[in-house]
Structure 1
Amino acid sequence: MDIYAKDLKKPKPALFCNVKIFVLCHGLLQVTQLLYSSYFKSTITTIERRYGLDSLSSGTISSLHEVGNTVFIAFVSYMGNRVHRPRFIGLGGVLMSISAIILALPHFLSQPYSYDSVLHASKNDMCYLRANATGAEACAQEDSRKLEDTSKFWVLMATAQLLFGIGSVPIQPFGISYIDDFAGAGNSALYIAILFAVSVFGPSFGYLLGSVVLQIYVDVDKASAGEALELTPDDPRWVGAWWMGLLITSGGLALTSVPYFFFPRALDVEKSFELEGDIIKEDPKKTEGSMLDFLKMFPKMFAKLLMSPVFMLLVLCQCCFSSVIAGIATFFSKFLERQYSASAAYSSRLIGALILPSIAVGMVLGGLIMKRWGLSFRAIPRFSVVMLTISVFCCVPLFFMGCSTQDVAGVYPTTSDVINGPHLSCSANCSCPSSAFNPVCGENNIEYISPCHAGCTNFTMDPENPYRIQNYSNCLCIPGLATAKPGSCANTCPHYLLPVMLLISLAGFIASLSHNPIYMMVLRSVPPEEKSFAIGVQFLLLRVLTWLPAPALFGMTIDSTCIWWKIACGKKQGCGYYDNNLLRNRYLGLQVGYKTLGIALLAFIGWKMHRSREYSLEKKPEGPL
């Protein structure tokens, strides 16, 4: 039976009967999809600050879209050309668009962002001397509401990420197979290469979009002029308009999904040597296989792949290197903010303009090296080990390119209670709320977590901005003139920022040279008839072993370096201060550890290949580079 003829009899606009137009539409959809993913990662630290999340919680949200993708990917791969692939892609794009709107809903459902400020009547950030100001602090109504919002909106954002994962399932499998089926002989590889090349721009655009919107105040649609003008993007209390980019990407996903509903189920094969208008037909016996048959075969095929030592070692090796990418994509912006006092917007701009393009160039160059020198199966591990080892050595200086946390009274370098904060004798009678976080820098270059903790009893407004404080005075804890300026004390490491970015970019470029060669090894480590299934299993294992746990693991590592937590009603509401030395050593150390393990696995594979003549790339030239 002809499964496509009936569909092709319906009149379709000529524009949507061209595989080149499909490639264009699919490239735009993939760019927008990746733009969304990278944009969300660029706003992680801002969302943490807005809703009082720790890094473990934000890292978990970041990776949850992989759950929906992992659960449904096998079924979608099975359906293949049994369904109307363009429509399924369009429906997936619409679902991703809806999930982006759901992810932005917390902004519209929550109360305006509130922060500690002496200009707010409801806040008690100045020192009001009272004798014997001790005793249990009551849980304010606003703090109680913050805790409720944190739990409620975390669930909402997690749901949005799960839906996004489900929506993204058909995009690549159906898109690639549709192009491969109807592209002319020799054109399929070119079109797919164009798709991957165009997709590289998505992550860069996402981080650059983040750098723009994070300079806009979060409640620009709600707040009064005073609240918007009091803070600057460099203020530790600043929260950018994280939701704005989600609405932009939601609109982009919706627009790029619409054309798919106009493509037919099947196209004329492009530049076919057969009669024009020839329609691809499918053997009816081939479609008799049911999902039940597929599920019965799945465990046996899966177990066979798991028993292939080279395939499994290569996938585990890829998991190690992908974990490094996951850690950088999710938390590198936060690392730059804490280590070098870069704003969230500037950090996103640097990542999008330096690191991601250098990795993309490395991947392309790695493919060209494969094509030019035709590396053998035994040569690829040696090449990759050399490149990855050099990239590790490039990372070594990063451990020393940083500085300690600035002196914070009662918090760093010594502290006795990281939860309830500093207890300074000079401000003991000031009745300072334990939840206060409004950093000021004393003239003694020591930071205090609020004007109250510095013992300040007066302040002066900025003559150039009536909504901003110029300085605090009569501060009991500060010797000399007893004055302090709003904001954190200046970091002594900003001059390291650009050299660090260049080193990271260089390390990423060198490491990415091995990406295509290792991917080719995976393709050649299985029989040709099992290649498609092996690729599916590879991506399944990468999601389960890397993209799901890695962001949460990096989040836990970062949380372990926190030395003072913001609190509300006795519960943690995000980290206020990290031990910068611990943060740098543990965050970078985990990345280097993953890389070292991957290099060891590659070296073992190279040793095994040296002793075996079972595999050879030259003998199996088929497959894309």
Structure 2
Amino acid sequence: MVQLVDSNLGSGTVDINQRTNSNHEANHSEQDKMLSTMKKELSKKELKEEVREKLKDIKDNLEITKDIRCGFGFIQGKILQKFATQEVFVLLYGILGATIQAGASYFSGTISTLEKRYRIPSRNMGVILTGNDIILALFGIPITYYAGRKHKPRWMCIGMLFIVAFCLLNTFPHVIYGSGKEALALTKEYEEDHYSSLQNATDESLCSKEGVECIKEGSLIPQAIFFVSQLMWGIGSPLYGFSFFIKMLGPVGGYCLAAWCLNMFISPELTPTIITKDPRWLGAWWLGWVIVAVIMAFFSFMIALFPKELPDRAVRKLLEDQTKDEVTKKKEEVEAQISWKDMKITFGRLLRNKILMCSTVGSLFYCFGYYPYWTYMPKYIEMQYKVSASKSSLITGVVGLVFTALGIISSGAFVSKVRPRARCLGGFNVFAGVVTILGIFSYTLLGCAEGDDFNAMIGRVNSSSFSAQKMTTCNADCNCDFSRYSPICSMDGTNMTYISPCHAGCRSSQILDDGSKVSV
């Protein structure tokens, strides 16, 4: 028995020792793996540090040639050369891209004011907005191809100068025609200057004056100027590309700038007698173009100072050339040559890419439906909900920023965590597009009761005559047929809107301290 027990104990001891040894071996193997991994990481870090030091030494001793020299003419030197880095270029590139998109959204935010000031029908404004697309369709591909093989920063600057010309050209109608007689008549300065002349005017001279034609289109000259400015925009656009994130930030700044400018009177030096909610209000739509042009011209000049090739890129290219054979170098030199034949081959490869073409066609239909909606959104809010042009631009910009940012952040987090397949992402894009369409159609269910009452009150309008119904008996003896269009809202809780104080039966008016006008 003793021997049996001893033998059993001996076998148990052997098993324990074997397990202990196996555990030690497993621990040693894990430690060895960890040590090898740490050694590899350290070797990689050391290699990266060695590469960085080597690149830095080559960069410090690199000869400053024409292609990597920062600046031009007398504007160059060692101090300026220090800013020829990728980080500085990306910063300026982002600011310039945001400014470009701000200009596009600023035009959208001031459309209603332009149409009102120069009596431009919306159909004509839609044609004007296609000017840049016409240039892009005709010359976008060759301009992009040719400029991409040359001095890119300089060509970008040239494109930006065309867009600066677009901004300044948009101010020409204001320089030529001024603020307009109708807008100037709504200022205190005009009332003071013309009060005495109105007192001395005879009935005959007043009756001989012609009224303002409200249904006739305005002059074609401002429309032609705006169309030519859009052509300038189209010439400069192919020479500059920008990321989606920058594209998101730009419109917000443009709409906020439009809100700030439209909140000022069209002639800032004068004192208006109406408030911004008055439909006759005209904001300083031209001021924003001057601001955008100055900012864009400054940063375009900064971009033009960059060399054709950054020094860091030149160093890496120098190291790559040392490892290439002569056959590879000659092949790259042949491929780098600019020719129409090479351009056809390049874009032929793109056209044969089925996924790229399907994505492009989908984006085309998206732009076809969504861009006009977003362009006229400030005008829609202004007309449908009876708010000022500045407020509608501010609402459009803020709402666009918040929900676009939420969409980008949430979708980016989802893709980074879940990592779905390309097919799933395509299906999600289709789902998001359907939700967008349903959201746009839901606007038809929304409205404003005041607008409905106003439409019922106006009566009928045709091409030859205009007649308005008399909604109450209080204006029966007021002879309001020739009263100037000046809509006012009732204060009795009925939410009625009248064409003018005369139609509401008012006999006197008073201007309050805040600039608002009350008729009694």
TM-score, normalised relative to structure 2: 0.69
Amino acid aligned to 1:105: F
- Cα distance in structure 2, aligned partners of 1:417 and 1:147: 13
Q: Deviations over 1:450-503 (max 9, x none)?
A: 456x286843333648x87531xxxxxxxxxxx5xxxxxxxxxxxxxxxxxxxx
> Quick one: higher RCO (CA 8 Å, sep 6+), 1 or 2?
1
1:51 corresponds, among 118, 133, 148, to 118
Q: Note the C-alpha offset of 1:105.
A: 1.4
Aligned pair 1:358/2:403, yes or no?
A: yes
Aligned pair 1:378/2:438, yes or no?
A: no
Shift of the 61–212 alpha-carbon distance from structure 1 to 2, 3 Å rule, reads same
Within a 5 Å distance, the mapping from 1:239-250 to structure 2 comes to 239-250=282-293
Q: Which moved more, 1:423-432 or 1:53-62?
A: 423-432
Amino acid aligned to 1:236: P
Q: Gaps spanning 5+ residues in structure 1: where?
A: 123-129, 131-136, 177-194, 472-482, 484-625
Shift of the 446–141 alpha-carbon distance from structure 1 to 2, 3 Å rule, reads closer
Larger Rg: 2
Amino acid aligned to 2:92: C
2:391 corresponds, among 341, 346, 349, to 346
SS of residue matched to 1:461? strand
Within a 5 Å distance, the mapping from 1:210-249 to structure 2 comes to 210-221=258-269, 223=270, 225=271, 228=272, 230-249=273-292
SS of residue matched to 1:17? coil
Q: Note the C-alpha offset of 1:81.
A: 4.2
- Cα distance in structure 2, aligned partners of 1:296 and 1:161: 28
Counterpart of 1:490 in structure 2 is none
**Fraction of identical pairs, as percent:** 22
Counterpart of 2:210 in structure 1 is 140
1:459 corresponds, among 502, 508, 516, to 508
Within a 5 Å distance, the mapping from 1:416-435 to structure 2 comes to 417=462, 420-424=465-469, 430=479, 432-433=481-482
Aligned pair 1:447/2:447, yes or no?
A: no
Aligned pair 1:264/2:307, yes or no?
A: yes
Q: Is the 8 A contact 1:410 1:422 kept in 2?
A: no
Shift of the 400–349 alpha-carbon distance from structure 1 to 2, 3 Å rule, reads same
Shift of the 311–329 alpha-carbon distance from structure 1 to 2, 3 Å rule, reads same
Shift of the 105–147 alpha-carbon distance from structure 1 to 2, 3 Å rule, reads farther
- Cα distance in structure 2, aligned partners of 1:148 and 1:339: 22
Counterpart of 1:336 in structure 2 is 381
Q: Which moved more, 1:417-426 or 1:156-165?
A: 417-426
Richer in helix (by share):
2
Shift of the 28–407 alpha-carbon distance from structure 1 to 2, 3 Å rule, reads same
Counterpart of 1:499 in structure 2 is none
Shift of the 417–368 alpha-carbon distance from structure 1 to 2, 3 Å rule, reads same
SS of residue matched to 1:101? helix
Amino acid aligned to 2:339: S
Counterpart of 1:162 in structure 2 is 231
Q: Note the C-alpha offset of 1:402.
A: 2.0
Shift of the 457–238 alpha-carbon distance from structure 1 to 2, 3 Å rule, reads same
Aligned pair 1:62/2:129, yes or no?
A: yes
Counterpart of 1:488 in structure 2 is none
Counterpart of 2:103 in structure 1 is 36
Shift of the 407–250 alpha-carbon distance from structure 1 to 2, 3 Å rule, reads same
Q: Is the 8 A contact 2:351 2:357 kept in 1?
A: no
- Cα distance in structure 2, aligned partners of 1:302 and 1:198: 26
Amino acid aligned to 1:407: D
Q: Is the 8 A contact 1:410 1:421 kept in 2?
A: no
Shift of the 330–392 alpha-carbon distance from structure 1 to 2, 3 Å rule, reads closer
Aligned pair 1:77/2:144, yes or no?
A: yes
Q: Note the C-alpha offset of 1:330.
A: 0.9
- Cα distance in structure 2, aligned partners of 1:400 and 1:16: 55
- Cα distance in structure 2, aligned partners of 1:402 and 1:39: 26
Amino acid aligned to 1:241: A
Counterpart of 2:245 in structure 1 is 197
Counterpart of 1:181 in structure 2 is none
Counterpart of 2:88 in structure 1 is 21
Q: Is the 8 A contact 2:136 2:235 kept in 1?
A: yes
Shift of the 378–332 alpha-carbon distance from structure 1 to 2, 3 Å rule, reads same
TM-score, normalised relative to structure 1: 0.58
Q: Is the 8 A contact 1:35 1:206 kept in 2?
A: yes
SS of residue matched to 2:280? coil
- Cα distance in structure 2, aligned partners of 1:274 and 1:290: 24
SS of residue matched to 1:407? helix
Amino acid aligned to 2:155: F
Task: Give the alignment's Cα RMSD to 1 decimal.
Answer: 3.9
Q: Is the 8 A contact 1:406 1:446 kept in 2?
A: no
Aligned pair 1:317/2:362, yes or no?
A: yes
Counterpart of 2:453 in structure 1 is 407
Q: Is the 8 A contact 2:166 2:229 kept in 1?
A: yes
- Cα distance in structure 2, aligned partners of 1:24 and 1:272: 22
In the comparison of the two structures, how many residue pairs are matched? 421
Q: Note the C-alpha offset of 1:346.
A: 1.4
Q: Which moved more, 1:442-451 or 1:274-283?
A: 274-283
- Cα distance in structure 2, aligned partners of 1:334 and 1:237: 15
Shift of the 394–9 alpha-carbon distance from structure 1 to 2, 3 Å rule, reads closer
- Cα distance in structure 1, aligned partners of 2:312 and 2:374: 40
Aligned pair 1:100/2:145, yes or no?
A: no
- Cα distance in structure 1, aligned partners of 2:368 and 2:226: 23
Within a 5 Å distance, the mapping from 1:591-606 to structure 2 comes to none
Q: Note the C-alpha offset of 1:17.
A: 2.4
- Cα distance in structure 2, aligned partners of 1:153 and 1:420: 28
- Cα distance in structure 2, aligned partners of 1:447 and 1:246: 35
Q: Gaps spanning 5+ residues in structure 2: where?
A: 1-63, 71-75, 196-202
Q: Note the C-alpha offset of 1:396.
A: 6.1
- Cα distance in structure 2, aligned partners of 1:89 and 1:409: 50
